[in-house]
Chain A
Amino acid sequence: MTERNAPHSDEAEVSLFGPGYGECAVVHAGGGDWIVLDSFGPPRERPVALQYLDALGLDPARSVRLIVATHWHDDHMKGLGELVSRCPEAHFCCASALGSREFMSVAAALARTGLPDQGIREIHAVMTHLDQTDAQPVWAMASRRIHRSSGCEVWSLSPHDEAHTSFLKSLAPRPGTVPGRGMHSLTPNQLSVALLVRFGGGASCLFGADLERRGWTAVLRDDTKPRCESSVFKVPHHGSANAHLEGVWDELLEPAPIAILAPWRRGRGALPKEGDVARILACTPSAYATTDATSGATPRDRWVKKRLGNIKAHITPESGAHGMIRLRRAMDGESSWRVDLFGSACHLRDFAA
């Protein structure tokens, strides 16, 4: 068995990729149908989801049925435009707020000026592509089934109306401000699309995106969501404490589920922190990270290294060591998930926070 073997038709797969800045998950929904959540790719390379499916000998153009953009932060969006254009059979799904006149106008205006960050640029590119191909997004919102195939169904659990409305308010031009300026200061985490993937045999996975505590409180309160306890949890917001809610572990997950996360590292900031690792391990002993947090420093002239030590700046390579957590299990029966770690992926207890 190697990572190059595609799963059997009746085998579910959940794979999470992350180099330390970037997150992408691919899901085999059974019957050769694949779902991709978010995107990243190493510099000047194709999105990792395309590379992985290629490596399995699969044609993304025929096998990907659904692509979800959980929110438009850079670390979840890189290569999304290319991914969507290479997967013509896939529906594209994002938060309904992104279809608002406010968001679309400002995104397009920012794109004209060359101002937008990568995330907004990718969303704008995807919408431009959908326009050209006469397709349109599937809008995610609380408790909505966004996809169904013979092997699985996918529900969006967020964002709720409150997050949607406050987002639109924040986009409204205010006197004396530059239109669209607010776009940059918004935290799209509150609009993250958390997803529930239910496989045919009864297993299910909860993908937390970067949804923070307020969003989870709304998810827990919502009594229209499907009732089930997931055996796999993509821990929200890279393990951050601001996305942790006991109720999520108590009500939406099986006891001691498999927890997977992609760490986040940006300059001086890093997630998960030491306390986050301890907290997650107290919730479940089966927790894994896509990378062990070791990031090689850029090789550099000694003179420069010394000077860099004297100034107030912290520099890290954009992409650290790549890793993948892969979970597979037979769709029917009582089988359990098999965990394989590749590249720099590690058990969370070995993660150097």
Chain B
Amino acid sequence: MPRIGLTATNLATDSNAPEGTLPSPQPPSVLPSIPGYRLPVRSGTLAPNEVPMEAAVSSAPKDGDANVAEAANGARRNAFPAVRPEVPECFPDRSPSLFPKQEWAGRVTAIANGTFDARLRDLTGGGREVATIDLEEVSPEDRGRIRVGSLFHWVMGYETISGTRSNVSRIVFLNSPRMTERDLKAGQDWADRLRAKWNLD
């Protein structure tokens, strides 16, 4: 498996951890159940009964709910006909002596004031989270890869090197897909056709 990420950073104790070839981490095979959307009745100006608003929970994933873990694993859904996501097919390799305790797949949503915001998918416990992460938590050589839309893999755990155990937190960015002239041309063609159909010219 070729390395597609870049240098990992070891923030806790060891910045020279050897790189190896463990298989890519996978999301949990069975996603934890997410309870249905409920609005238990609470205090209001009236006193409604204690009846939750039941709502069906569809078992199938939703189109609009594409998530970074699946994208990063290549198990992507063809959410919309015109969407052809091209994201790296695997996570970066990591040290053979790294024992992960917690892993996330993330996508950057904003960058500001020495931090970046990201949507996270918890690959260990399941569930979705959001985070503001200091740029310092990313290795200097990786910081240039941080863009809105960039995918990353974040692992916390411990590493044993020559019998010495150290805690690690590594955020490794995947190579972002780039927009090509061909993509832009196809986008323009789509826009021109639809705008003509909608009499916008």
Contact = CB atoms under 8 A, between A and B. Distances in A.
Interface of A: 1-4, 21, 41-46, 48, 51-52, 54-55, 74, 78-82, 99, 101, 104-118, 121-122, 124-125, 127-128, 131, 136-137, 178-181, 184-185, 265-269, 298-301, 303-304, 307-308, 310-319, 322-324, 338-345
Contact of B137 (A104, A111, A180, A312): A312
Closest 6 CB pairs of A and B: A114-B85, A267-B132, A109-B187, A312-B134, A104-B191, A108-B187
A99 B200 contact: yes
Contacts of A81: 63-64, 80
Contact of B46 (A1, A104, A118, A266): A1
B64 A80 contact: yes
Given A111-B83, A304-B102, A268 B115 contact: yes
16 contacts: A2-B49, A51-B55, A54-B55, A110-B179, A111-B83, A113-B85, A121-B64, A125-B63, A127-B194, A136-B197, A185-B148, A301-B124, A308-B156, A311-B169, A315-B131, A342-B41
A78 B64 contact: yes
B119 interface: yes
B82 A46 contact: no
B37 A105 contact: no
Interface string B69-110: 001000010011111111100000000000001100000011
Contact of B101 (A52, A179, A301): A301
Q: Which of B11, B61, B82 has the largest count of A CB atoms less than 10 A from its CB? A: B82
B147 to A, nearest CB: 7
Contacts of B130: 21, 265-267, 315-318
Contact of B64 (A125, A299, A323, A324): A125
B192 interface: yes
A3 B41 CA distance: 8
B14 interface: no
Interface residues of B, number: 86
Nearest to B185: A109
Contacts of B11: 311
Contacts of A121: 64, 66, 79-80, 83
A74 B66 CA distance: 13
With a 10 A CB-CB cut-off, give which of A3, A109, A125 has the most chain B CB atoms. A109
Given A112-B187, A301-B101, A307 B53 contact: no
A266 B120 CA distance: 12
B15 interface: no
A342 B148 CA distance: 35
B42 A128 contact: no
- Chain B: interface secondary structure? loop
Scoring B36, B83, B109, B129 by chain A CB atoms within 10 A of each residue's CB, the highest score goes to: B83
Most buried by A among B12, B176, B194: B194
Contact of B129 (A312, A318, A343): A318
B54 interface: yes
Nearest to A56: B53
Contacts of A301: 101-102, 124
A342 B44 contact: yes
A75 to B, nearest CB: 10
Central interface residue in B36, B57, B63, B179, by most chain A CB within 10 Å: B179
B133 interface: yes
B177 A42 contact: no
A298 B132 contact: no
Contact of A317 (B38, B128, B133, B194): B128
Contacts of A300: 102, 125
B34 A101 contact: no
B175 interface: no
A267 B37 contact: no
B23 interface: no
B58 A46 contact: yes
Contacts of A3: 39, 41, 48, 51, 53
B18 interface: no
B85 A82 contact: no
B28 interface: no
B40 interface: yes
B41 to A, nearest CB: 6
